Amino acid sequence: MLTASPEIRTNVLNRISEDRWITLASQLIKTGQPRSCDPLDPDLPPGEEEAIAMLVAGKLEAMGMSVHTYESMPHRPNVVGVLKGSGDGPVLMMNDHMDTYPVVEPHKWDKTNFDPFKATRHGDLLYARGSSDTRGNMASALIAAQALVEEGVKLKGDLMYCLCVDEERDGTHGSIYLTETIGIKADYSITAEPTAWENSQSGEWGMNLSVANGGHCLVEITIVGQKAHIWRPDTSNNAIVEASKLVPLLEAMSFTHTPTNFMGHTPPCTTIVRIRGGLPGEMQFSPDECKITLAVVGIVPGMTMQSIISDLESVTSKMFDGREDITYSVKQVPDSLFVEATEPVPMDEEPCRSICKAYATLMDGAQPIPNRKNAFNDTIRFRQAGINAVTFGPGEDGWAPDNESISITKAVMAARMYALTIMDILEVDNDVE
């Protein structure tokens, strides 16, 4: 069995440079924006990733990959490229997504001179929307493959690049469509999303290996009271006031769950994301209805939509049961998805084994820390499809709403780790001088 020689490994790693990563990341970040911005809000229009998809498809084709696009919604093509091996090996998927968070307040982006899609360097950080989540990570994954191709490395197994749309909305037109309708299959999958960390005091840094994901869902609680004129607040049951009394209880509540080995940094809890009350043209009246929209995050295996609704109803009932002047309802936000938590991929199985080997090689013998990633990414959908899917990549798990950034040093290191991991899992079929 032929494997990568030390010379090939060194030559491949030398092709992955800081300048090369910055050039590609900057190009990816600006392409197709702001049309690729994809809000989680189910009541807002989705993004359109067509421009970035065409760019990425061209880059994969230039590497010699067989490329296909698949879309279930106009202007939203998923891109799948395959570099065929000799046929004597597994299939490894490198995954990332092409949509990004929206930019709602560009006046807060002082690090990019108020142009959120202009990649701007400050020290070791590259700032822009999509730098960390996740076009900077995509650049790391792409230059890893490019380095292998340029060095003439031939693999036994198939290397697949799967770039998805709609990840920010839980994958309906992306990873769900690809796995359930198209039937995308792989033995292993690595999603190049943020898992990096850094100790600000010591300067020590690394990248976690997210072998599992937490789940999440959106819920709305509607409070209905009694409308009255603003001059007579004594005759009203102001729904906003009543809802405000409930919010602290929701923030402090605990959800029914069984603790797991990987709980994630965030326990099962609520995050209030929107409160709406009052109607246009009725500012002279106190509102009789108020909706609290909340995200339930940190969901672990065993939690269900039904159990979460039951827990929320229990808290709400303690506030309002017995009051004939108030009614309420608790339900899942229409058109939103319930995302289940996933079971962990064992550390002694691929792709964990080879990631750890590459990590130790490039990080002086250190090992990545296994954890459960709190956020949604396409890893969840591939794991649910029976693939050994993990998340591993540069970018901090902070998800900055403004002035998003990524460490250049970590992005380049991640690309090198991807290259070594790919060669280790798929095996090199020839030593190229």
pLDDT in tens, 117-136: 999 999 999 999 999 999 99
pLDDT value for 404: 97
- Same domain? 84 vs 185: yes
* Count of the separate structural domains present in the chain: 2
- Same domain? 62 vs 189: yes
**pLDDT tens digits, one per residue of 240-259:** 999 999 999 999 999 999 99
**pLDDT tens digits, one per residue of 283-317:** 999 999 999 999 999 999 999 999 999 999 999 99
Q: Is residue 221 part of a domain?
A: yes
Judge whether 277 and 291 are in contact, CB under 8 Å: yes
- Same domain? 38 vs 126: yes
CA within 13 Å, CB half, 296: 35
* DSSP H or E segment with residue 243: helix 239-252
Q: Is residue 11 part of a domain?
A: yes
Region 60-78: mean pLDDT is: 98
Taking the C-alpha atoms of residue 322 and residue 387, their distance in angstroms, rounded to an integer, is 50
| 3-state DSSP assignment of residue 153 | coil
Give me the domain span that covers residue 101: 6-213+342-426
Average pLDDT of the chain, as a whole number: 95
Give me the sign of the Cα torsion angle 327, 331, 336, 341. positive
Q: Is residue 364's pLDDT more than 80? A: yes
Q: Is residue 48's pLDDT more than 60? A: yes
Taking the C-alpha atoms of residue 16 and residue 330, their distance in angstroms, rounded to an integer, is 52
Looking up tokens 């031939």, which residue turns up?
154
**pLDDT tens digits, one per residue of 263-287:** 888 899 999 999 999 999 999 999 9
Q: Is residue 433 part of a domain?
A: no
Q: What is the CATH number of the domain that holds 411?
A: 3.40.630.10
Q: Could you give the C-alpha distances from 348 to 191, 193, 358, 359, in angstroms and in order?
A: 18, 21, 14, 15
The band of 234, judged by pLDDT with boundaries at 50, 70 and 90, is confident
* DSSP H or E segment with residue 191: strand 188-191
E strands, 111-214, are 120-122, 125-127, 158-164, 188-191, 196-198, 205-207, 209-213
Q: Is residue 277 part of a domain?
A: yes
pLDDT value for 324: 87
**Spatial CA neighbour of 219 closest among 255, 270, 263:** 270
- Same domain? 58 vs 20: yes
| First-to-last C-alpha distance (Å) of the chain | 18
Q: Is residue 139 part of a domain?
A: yes
For the entire predicted model, the pTM comes to: 0.93
**Spatial CA neighbour of 337 closest among 175, 189, 185:** 175
Q: Which residues pair with 277 in a beta bridge?
A: 290
In terms of residues, how long is the chain? Answer: 433
- Same domain? 206 vs 275: no
Q: Is residue 433's pLDDT more than 60? A: no
Percent of the chain with pLDDT over 70: 98
Q: Is residue 404 part of a domain?
A: yes
Domain stops at, among 297, 312, 332: 332
- Same domain? 55 vs 165: yes
- Same domain? 264 vs 177: no
Q: How many CB atoms lie within 10 A of CB 104?
A: 11
- Same domain? 228 vs 267: yes
pLDDT value for 3: 67
Domain stops at, among 288, 305, 332: 332
Percent of the chain with pLDDT over 90: 89
Region 35-63: mean pLDDT is: 96
- Same domain? 319 vs 372: no
Q: Is residue 75 part of a domain?
A: yes
Tell me, what amino acid is at 98? M
- Same domain? 205 vs 219: no
Q: Tell me, rounded to whole angstroms, the distance of Cα 65 from its chain centroid.
A: 25
- Same domain? 33 vs 119: yes
Region 369-388: mean pLDDT is: 95
pLDDT value for 396: 84
Q: Is residue 248 part of a domain?
A: yes
Taking the C-alpha atoms of residue 273 and residue 260, their distance in angstroms, rounded to an integer, is 27
- β-pairing, 188-191 vs 269-277, is unpaired
Taking the C-alpha atoms of residue 123 and residue 120, their distance in angstroms, rounded to an integer, is 10
DSSP-assigned states of every residue in 293-338: EEEEEEE-TT--HHHHHHHHHHHHHHHHTT-TT-EEEEEEPTT---
- β-pairing, 78-83 vs 66-70, is antiparallel
Domain stops at, among 282, 312, 332: 332
- Where is pLDDT greater, at 143 or 41? 143
pLDDT value for 2: 45
**pLDDT tens digits, one per residue of 147-206:** 999 999 999 999 999 999 999 999 999 999 999 999 999 999 999 999 999 998 998 999
- Same domain? 393 vs 417: yes
pLDDT value for 265: 85
Q: What is the CATH number of the domain that holds 265?
A: 3.30.70.360
pLDDT value for 106: 96
